[in-house]
Amino acid sequence: MRPLLIVMSAPSGAGKSTLCDLLLQEFPEITYSVSCTTRAPRGEEEDGVDYYFLSQEAFEQHVREGLLLEHAEVHGNRYGTPAEPVREAFAEGQSVLMDIDVVGAASVRRYVAGLPAGDPLREGFVDVFVEPPSLEELRRRLVGRGEDSPESIEVRLRNAEGEMARAHEFAYRVVNDDLRQAYLRLRDIVLLKGGAL
């Protein structure tokens, strides 16, 4: 496969993390881009594995020093993609998977569009929006996973509406109704863009 820069966005609870995990399991040549965030670790999350957990000051310094490929505020916290690992992975011919919000995805889209034709990052860019079947189903899933307070669920649902209104910006959309079907569609997109189909 040619190296891909795979950007995945979705409203919280749409099943994006599960789809990302399945992709990483099947394609070990894809590197997961570990983001920086100012939010506190949740549950079993590990620093340097799930996220780089930074203070507000440290995050701000990363921004000032131009270390982030993109950054955005999501649900009241800041998130950003370290640029260097993405460049390194590409230099080694590896693909990169970024799990970022719609604002970050738009920044990366703009960034790659500004690169010269033929640049591997531009050629390998593929953006996928994962959609829940409906907002009602999303609410059921968020309540069902029991990770968020009722207030946080309301915030996430409000944000979901805004995110879903930007789904058309993405080249590919995957409705996660049935996980297996959704994964097969994602897999086809990756194989197609990677030149393996």
Instruction: Please give the residue ranges that form the binding site for ligand 5GP (CB under 6 A).
Output: 12, 35, 39, 70, 72, 74-75, 79-81, 99-101, 103-104
Query: Three-state DSSP class for 127?
Result: strand
**Cβ at position 52, least distance to ligand 5GP in Å:** 10
**Cβ at position 80, least distance to ligand 5GP in Å:** 5
Is the Cβ of residue 70 or residue 131 nearer to ligand 5GP in the bound state? 70
**Cβ at position 197, least distance to ligand 5GP in Å:** 26
Is the Cβ of residue 75 or residue 158 nearer to ligand 5GP in the bound state? 75
Query: Which residues, at least 6 apart from 148, have a Cβ–Cβ distance to it below 8 Å?
Result: 142, 156
Is the Cβ of residue 100 or residue 128 nearer to ligand 5GP in the bound state? 100
Q: In this chain, which residue has its C-beta nearest to ligand 5GP?
A: 104
Alpha helix positions (H), 79-178: 83-91, 102-113, 120-123, 135-145, 150-164
Is the Cβ of residue 171 or residue 197 nearer to ligand 5GP in the bound state? 171
**Cβ at position 35, least distance to ligand 5GP in Å:** 3
DSSP secondary structure letters along 4-30: -EEEEE--TTSSHHHHHHHHHHH-TTE
C-alpha span between 118 and 134 (Å, rounded): 38
Query: Three-state DSSP class for 68?
Result: strand
